[in-house]
Structure 1
Amino acid sequence: MRDFSLPDYYINRELSWVAFNERVLEEAANRQNPLFERLKFIAITSSNFDEFFMVRVAGLKDQVKAGLSKPDNKSGMTPKEQLAAISERTHAVMNKLFDVLKHQITPELEQAGIRFVKAHQLCAEQQAFMRDYFHHHLFPVLTPLAVDASHPFPLLLNKSLNLAVLLENPQEEDEGPLFAVVQVPAVVPRFLQLPSPAGEAHFMLLEEVIKEHIESLFQGYTIRETSPFRITRNADLTIDEDETEDLLEAIQQELKKRKMGEPVILAIDSSMSDFLAATLQDWLELEDADVYRMDGPLDPSFFFKFYALPGYDHLRFEEYVPQPPKELQGVTNIFEAIRQKDLLLHHPYESFDPVIQFVQQAAEDPGVLAIKQTLYRVSGDSPIVKALLRAAENGKQVTVLLEIKARFDEENNIVWAKALEKAGCHVIYGIVGLKTHGKITLVVRAEQDGIRRYVHLSTGNYNDRTARVYTDLGMLTAREEFGIDASHFFNHLTGYSQPPYWKAITTAPVGLRETFLQLIEQETANRLAGKPARIIAKMNALTDKRIMEALYKASCAGVEIDLIIRGICCLRPGIAGVSENIRVISIVGRFLEHSRIYYFLNGGEERIFLASADWMTRNMVARVELLFPVYQENLKERIKQILDIMLSDDAKARMLLPDGTYINVVSNKPAPLNSQLYFLEEACLSAIGKKFDAAPHHLEPHLPLPE
């Protein structure tokens, strides 16, 4: 039997992540996207790289500092080798980002009358406006920080934007150059809108305004150079949960440290002198590879706010209002609708409101005895949490498993946790050593024929805001097996009990990987026995080696495998004798693909599952996850159609090649199929009772990868 563990069969996780952001950046360069949407893709790419440096790169640096040289278990690369490869790729991607911004997007902004101007480009009226703004709004909040023998280099906040100032004292010419830092205040908008000619809008970045008036902060000194820089620090939390008596307090303490972690990279303006750059690099103790010269505004994530400026709807996607699901139109009592049949919700095409209403009605319904829910990421003004607070006030028994270790949402979750506790809810902060990532709500209701349990399960978070931009699938059901499993699930997490025997669901960290392996191996056995075999899986990322080895084995047996993976994919498709029957595509478009769907042909008796989990090792062993089957035939048909449309996407899909690169799927149709646009139009027509007429595809086989 072939050895499927060879490093040549796998793509490094970190490099695959960089490749994903290259695909996001392609959307910024895509002139078919509205101009402000392209700016938003620039901001998304920049923000993604911030998190990558703060967590993944920081973690590799920690390994190197600790003297660890163990290769990763897939690609066989050591931490040092990974850092070198990452540096080479990320420098290239960041250069491309600023090239797209400078040479493609900026000229088109100017054609639209939108200009980012420098001080020397201002007319007299704009200069007076800028000067007045600086002295009345900026100057009072600025703090120049000298750096010398008595003033050590300041501990600057993570991701803060600063100005490095090189200056001289004319009274002490032999003293040599002096150094100072001015932090660009984060409490003030990053861009200043100036008085502008008719039909135009001129803006100036805050750092340019400060730079132009820097002498007023250092009166009596000669300014030699002023240049922006930005430090990204290690922001991963380190908590010994076994030794921590109060997890909430421990996380609050760690959050304070996050702002002051070890420097990971230094971003500087491309015009900064070598002397000033070397000075900063030396103070921060960074390598040459950790310094990024950027030909454009540092931290372009500010375009998120610029994107939202009023008056530019014509430069954004036409606003889309998620549609009410056809099955729930006119329904006043959601429990009656769920009792009749299972309901599938496809977000953001269909509204998230039914999920909110499910909890809100439960909070007010006199027959509801208890509500139990897991929360991973919720919005800052969450109607779900407000409904839970209301339920507690109404005397319902409310239990919330709120994961306060959800990375970069810890502070928001801590606020909600305290509010829920204060209202009388039972709040569990998570499980020691695990993150609770499964999405489930259980409502226990007293009815005429006895106690009935209603359950909502989902691939996505209970977040009303992200539900408008993330694609997810949720199911509402009153099936007895799901209700029993839901009760056992919460009892297992909140009390003391061994993992129960599940009637329908499967959970991690016990059983999920084994279930997936059994499902994949069954397809392999079916194919070898001459039975129909097929695997289709849609997820955010694929990193688990045991699952990839099982997929390779299935491919060698002749099982046709289609993977729709938005982000990281460590599997190499198209390798002769290993993975020539595996096809991998990634769809990057207007919405963030987030749903997890798993389809197995199973000899003709199809099995379809939805899950909170990707095929990542962390989902299998380090998280509490949920996998749940779809039983109702019309829902299974609908999910098959969703997969079919996505596999037929030749507008936003990219195909993964054996060498780890992606190419656009080539369209042979007059009008390429954009799956996200298809689902938008389908939801709108369904809401008014019309069927979307599209050519049937019926999960047809796909051509092999090009040689």
Structure 2
Amino acid sequence: MIKKFDKHSYFKNRELSWLDFNGRVLEEARDPENPLLERVNFLGITQSNVDEFFMVRVASLNKMYSVGIKTTDASGMTPKQQIDAINLLEQQMVVKRYNTYNRSLLPQLEKEKIKIAKIKNITDEQHHSLHRYFNDDLYPVLTPLADDSSRPFPFISNNSLNLAIRLQENKNSKNKPFATIRIPETFGRLIKLPREENCFILVEEIIKEFIGTLFPGFQVIESATYRVIRDMDLDVAEEDTSNLLREVQKQLKKREHGKVMRLEIEASMSHNLSDRLIKNLNVDQSAVYRINGPIDLTFLKKLPGKVTGHDDLHYQPFRAFVDPQLAPGQNIFAAIRQHDFLMQHPYDSFSSVVHFIEQAASDPSVLAIKMTLYRVSGNSPIIKYLGLAAQKGKQVTVLVEVKARFDEENNVRWAKQLEKMGCHVIYGLVGLKTHCKMALVIRREEDGIRRYLHLGTGNYNDVTANFYTDMGIFTANLDMGIDASNIFNMLSGYAKPPYFHKLHISPHKIREFISRKIDDEINYAQNGQTAEIRMKMNSLSDQKIIEKLYQASAAGVKIKLIVRGICCLKNDLPGISENIEVHSIVGRFLEHSRIYYFYNQGNEDVYLSSADMMTRNLDRRVELLFPALQSEIKAKIISIFNLMWQDNLKARVLHGDQFERIDRRGLEPFSSQEYFVQEAMKKNQVLLESRQQAKANSVFQPMMHHDDPLQFQIDPKEEE
């Protein structure tokens, strides 16, 4: 009898799994083995994570519920059931976050003489200074907005911090007018107090203290902070791409008025005020969160950068390794022509990728540059070099994905700037996001036209490359270069290549390829041969892929998965998932690389990809999966996976549908991320010593016979 692998009980709900992941980030904030200011940063990250989750995922569920959709997900939950379960679990997580803030981090910060002060605990001198600051700086920009018979309840924008205020004209007045004030963002949340080095106060504390100044003739009888999170999912109609840029800009303006998904109110707020907000904001009672502490903990991500004199409370800095063959001053194309290069960021410097585009821009032999951009930094050097290349007469084609969530505004700006600089800009395909990471340089050489490629798992973002782990390959492989040309022709025109030599793209083709490779391992296992699958990804939620993995496990295929975030697979199902082991690494760096490995009768096929095993990546995005062809690169990727698999400090292991920390009793503590940091530092040290030795040899060179061949020179650029 053929087993069925699609029962609801075999799947964990995607949204609840994501909340569990955010709980693992929270564990890092609670872990005393992490440096204190890094723990503070982790707590801020949990807040920004959950804010985006409500703006997008909860918003999507609410839309489904509002139009009466009652179909279930893989786990058997309707949209309404998911919304209720999310709010129930998140209420518990809020309590845990603020216990971490109030009971753990604040006291430990104070031991280090780092304070987030309350107004009642500051000195008279500091109070006087803040009063002056309020009058001179804050007061002129504050705008009280009333809600009464002649003035409707004002619009409260997404993610803004606000004060709800109750007033009284005199003691005998029964009328208690309401007003609200938006806390200005221009001053920042953390205001430094005078006379103390690392003492800060939150800006809303200052405003609350002196708020009466804004209401002469009235007494402020209550003031409390609140914040709303709205539906910020972009809903772009894409009948054609000719007006896509304009449509995105229009939707950016509209989404600010999305429905309220979540209302956070200060725990001390009276029911009179909270009921008024709930009614006017039209928010469900289950989505109201009473907060025991400062609302919106994202300010904690800024605190470490404001603290002075406490380097010991941060991660120890390290310098990423730059391969000498890929360094500025070297001919990067000559190096890539000799052999492929594997990059593992942030341990290998992203500067080599920037240098690849920089050299392409200035090299007279380069004819064209083609590139996809999904997320780039606010001051991207890559944009600058692409523009420079166009100005030098090279043909530059850039696909800028203007639908990249929460980077839409940034990408629209870059798209316009690239066009001004002379680049040909594509805005993506109808109905699909282009998420693949690919840069193609076409160069005229003595033996003809040659293509040079960079293929990566992560964005061309020089900022996030410092704290996202990603992998990329430089190659001049002919077949891969032809495939890349065909992909760009497909993205920019009407080309439909009949097949690809080495690369696999979504929509659909990556799904088909992965399914086929899993089927191969199933066949090997059924024939009594060794069969193994290893995968590393951000998220595993696609039902069909999970069913295929269950089928492989049931057939005897050994499966190792490293899944950072969402994991809808369960590994406690007798006869179904017993051969599946799942780890999740959450640590100093955000694990972002994707690795797909198949034993293939000992041939060990290894692939990197921009795609997770999620339905959106497989069916609704342009994604790329590419092979490691050279044996040393293949071996290096396998080694990286194996080292991560050995992690017992930052890895958790899945038991059923819950991740738990590894029992380290009797084990030597091992953090894969720290191992890679140390390896980068060792490589830098070896390189430094070799350069020093070479310099010494060039300065103290013994006298040689005039025809002695053992003479060499130091490249002055290399010495720099």
Question: Structure 1-normalised TM-score?
Answer: 0.95
Matches within 5 A, 1:31-110: 31-72=32-73, 74-110=74-110
Is the partner of 1:472 in helix, strand or coil?
Answer: strand
Cα pair 1:167 1:222 within 8 Å, conserved: yes
CA deviation after TM superposition for structure 1 residue 510, in Å: 3.5
Cα pair 2:504 2:513 within 8 Å, conserved: yes
Matches within 5 A, 1:540-619: 540-619=538-617
Cα pair 2:390 2:422 within 8 Å, conserved: yes
**Which of 260, 280, 285 is matched with 2:282 structurally?**
285
Q: Distance in 2 between the 1:286 and 1:436 partners? A: 35
Cα pair 2:343 2:471 within 8 Å, conserved: yes
Residues 310 and 447 of structure 1, relative CA distance in 2, 3 Å threshold = farther
Cα pair 1:11 1:570 within 8 Å, conserved: yes
Given residue 6 of structure 1, which amino acid in structure 2 is its aligned partner? K
CA RMSD of aligned residues (A): 1.4
Q: Distance in 1 between the 2:328 and 2:159 partners? A: 49
Q: Distance in 2 between the 1:267 and 1:67 partners? A: 27
Q: Distance in 1 between the 2:257 and 2:184 partners? A: 17
Q: Distance in 1 between the 2:367 and 2:516 partners? A: 38
Matches within 5 A, 1:295-694: 295-311=292-308, 312-325=310-323, 328=326, 332-658=330-656, 660-689=657-686
CA deviation after TM superposition for structure 1 residue 435, in Å: 0.3
Cα pair 2:240 2:430 within 8 Å, conserved: no
Pair 1:258-2:255 in alignment:
yes
Given residue 615 of structure 1, which amino acid in structure 2 is its aligned partner? M
Is the partner of 2:239 in helix, strand or coil?
Answer: helix
Task: Indicate the residue corresponding to 2:226 in structure 1.
Answer: 229
Is the partner of 2:224 in helix, strand or coil?
Answer: strand
Residues 669 and 353 of structure 1, relative CA distance in 2, 3 Å threshold = farther
Task: Indicate the residue corresponding to 2:187 in structure 1.
Answer: 188
Q: Provide the identity percentage.
A: 48
CA deviation after TM superposition for structure 1 residue 484, in Å: 0.5
CA deviation after TM superposition for structure 1 residue 669, in Å: 4.5
The farther-off stretch of 620-629 and 240-249 is 240-249
Task: Indicate the residue corresponding to 1:693 in structure 2.
Answer: none
Q: Distance in 1 between the 2:371 and 2:240 partners? A: 27
What whole-Å deviation, never above 9, does each CA across 1:211-250 have from its counterpart, x for those lacking one?
Answer: 0001101111121110000011100011110167511011
CA deviation after TM superposition for structure 1 residue 331, in Å: 6.4
**Which of 204, 209, 227 is matched with 1:212 structurally?**
209
Which blocks of at least 5 consecutive residues in structure 1 are unaligned?
691-707
The farther-off stretch of 325-334 and 238-247 is 325-334
CA deviation after TM superposition for structure 1 residue 285, in Å: 1.2
Cα pair 1:399 1:427 within 8 Å, conserved: yes
Cα pair 2:506 2:617 within 8 Å, conserved: yes
Given residue 63 of structure 1, which amino acid in structure 2 is its aligned partner? M
Task: Indicate the residue corresponding to 2:694 in structure 1.
Answer: none
Task: Indicate the residue corresponding to 1:702 in structure 2.
Answer: none
Task: Indicate the residue corresponding to 1:164 in structure 2.
Answer: 164
What whole-Å deviation, never above 9, does each CA across 1:324-376 have from its counterpart, x for those lacking one?
Answer: 13654686100000000000001000100110010000000000000000000
Task: Indicate the residue corresponding to 1:13 in structure 2.
Answer: 14
Task: Indicate the residue corresponding to 1:117 in structure 2.
Answer: 117
The farther-off stretch of 662-671 and 615-624 is 662-671
Cα pair 2:325 2:332 within 8 Å, conserved: no
CA deviation after TM superposition for structure 1 residue 438, in Å: 0.4
Given residue 184 of structure 2, which amino acid in structure 1 is its aligned partner? P
Q: Distance in 1 between the 2:236 and 2:623 partners? A: 21
Q: Distance in 2 between the 1:567 and 1:504 partners? A: 29
Q: Distance in 1 between the 2:304 and 2:252 partners? A: 29
Is the partner of 1:240 in helix, strand or coil?
Answer: coil
CA deviation after TM superposition for structure 1 residue 687, in Å: 3.1
Cα pair 1:610 1:627 within 8 Å, conserved: yes
Runs of 4+ in 1 over 4 A off after TM superposition: none
CA deviation after TM superposition for structure 1 residue 314, in Å: 2.3
CA deviation after TM superposition for structure 1 residue 583, in Å: 0.6
CA deviation after TM superposition for structure 1 residue 683, in Å: 1.6
Q: Distance in 2 between the 1:548 and 1:585 partners? A: 16
**Which of 232, 244, 253 is matched with 1:247 structurally?**
244
Aligned length in residues: 686
CA deviation after TM superposition for structure 1 residue 114, in Å: 1.3
What whole-Å deviation, never above 9, does each CA across 1:548-599 have from its counterpart, x for those lacking one?
Answer: 1110010001111010000001111121111011011110000000000001
Is the partner of 1:154 in helix, strand or coil?
Answer: coil
Cα pair 2:193 2:201 within 8 Å, conserved: yes
The farther-off stretch of 513-522 and 201-210 is 201-210
What whole-Å deviation, never above 9, does each CA across 1:264-292 have from its counterpart, x for those lacking one?
Answer: 11001111112211111111111211100
CA deviation after TM superposition for structure 1 residue 448, in Å: 0.6
CA deviation after TM superposition for structure 1 residue 387, in Å: 0.5
CA deviation after TM superposition for structure 1 residue 670, in Å: 4.9
Q: Distance in 2 between the 1:243 and 1:187 partners? A: 39
CA deviation after TM superposition for structure 1 residue 118, in Å: 1.7
Cα pair 2:486 2:495 within 8 Å, conserved: no
Question: Structure 2-normalised TM-score?
Answer: 0.94
Cα pair 2:37 2:304 within 8 Å, conserved: yes
CA deviation after TM superposition for structure 1 residue 543, in Å: 0.9
CA deviation after TM superposition for structure 1 residue 64, in Å: 1.2
Q: Distance in 2 between the 1:536 and 1:460 partners? A: 20
Residues 27 and 398 of structure 1, relative CA distance in 2, 3 Å threshold = same
Given residue 291 of structure 2, which amino acid in structure 1 is its aligned partner? M
What whole-Å deviation, never above 9, does each CA across 1:521-568 have from its counterpart, x for those lacking one?
Answer: 111101111111110000000111111111001000111101000000
Q: Distance in 2 between the 1:521 and 1:411 partners? A: 43
Cα pair 2:241 2:430 within 8 Å, conserved: no
Is the partner of 1:265 in helix, strand or coil?
Answer: strand
Q: Distance in 2 between the 1:635 and 1:151 partners? A: 67
Is the partner of 1:308 in helix, strand or coil?
Answer: helix
Cα pair 1:326 1:687 within 8 Å, conserved: no
Task: Indicate the residue corresponding to 2:178 in structure 1.
Answer: 179
Is the partner of 1:203 in helix, strand or coil?
Answer: strand
Task: Indicate the residue corresponding to 1:146 in structure 2.
Answer: 146
Given residue 190 of structure 2, which amino acid in structure 1 is its aligned partner? F
Q: Distance in 1 between the 2:580 and 2:210 partners? A: 60
Task: Indicate the residue corresponding to 1:698 in structure 2.
Answer: none
The farther-off stretch of 314-323 and 2-11 is 314-323
CA deviation after TM superposition for structure 1 residue 511, in Å: 1.2
Q: Distance in 2 between the 1:120 and 1:180 partners? A: 24
Is the partner of 1:50 in helix, strand or coil?
Answer: helix
Cα pair 1:326 1:689 within 8 Å, conserved: no
What whole-Å deviation, never above 9, does each CA across 1:120-176 have from its counterpart, x for those lacking one?
Answer: 2121111111101100010000001111111111111100000000111228714x2
Task: Indicate the residue corresponding to 1:201 in structure 2.
Answer: 198
Given residue 214 of structure 2, which amino acid in structure 1 is its aligned partner? L
CA deviation after TM superposition for structure 1 residue 76, in Å: 1.0
Cα pair 1:488 1:500 within 8 Å, conserved: no
Residues 163 and 423 of structure 1, relative CA distance in 2, 3 Å threshold = same
Cα pair 1:325 1:345 within 8 Å, conserved: no
Cα pair 2:241 2:428 within 8 Å, conserved: no
Which blocks of at least 5 consecutive residues in structure 2 are unaligned?
688-720
Is the partner of 1:457 in helix, strand or coil?
Answer: strand
Given residue 27 of structure 2, which amino acid in structure 1 is its aligned partner? E
Cα pair 1:574 1:581 within 8 Å, conserved: no
Cα pair 1:398 1:426 within 8 Å, conserved: yes
Cα pair 1:11 1:571 within 8 Å, conserved: yes
Given residue 230 of structure 1, which amino acid in structure 2 is its aligned partner? R
Q: Distance in 1 between the 2:324 and 2:36 partners? A: 34
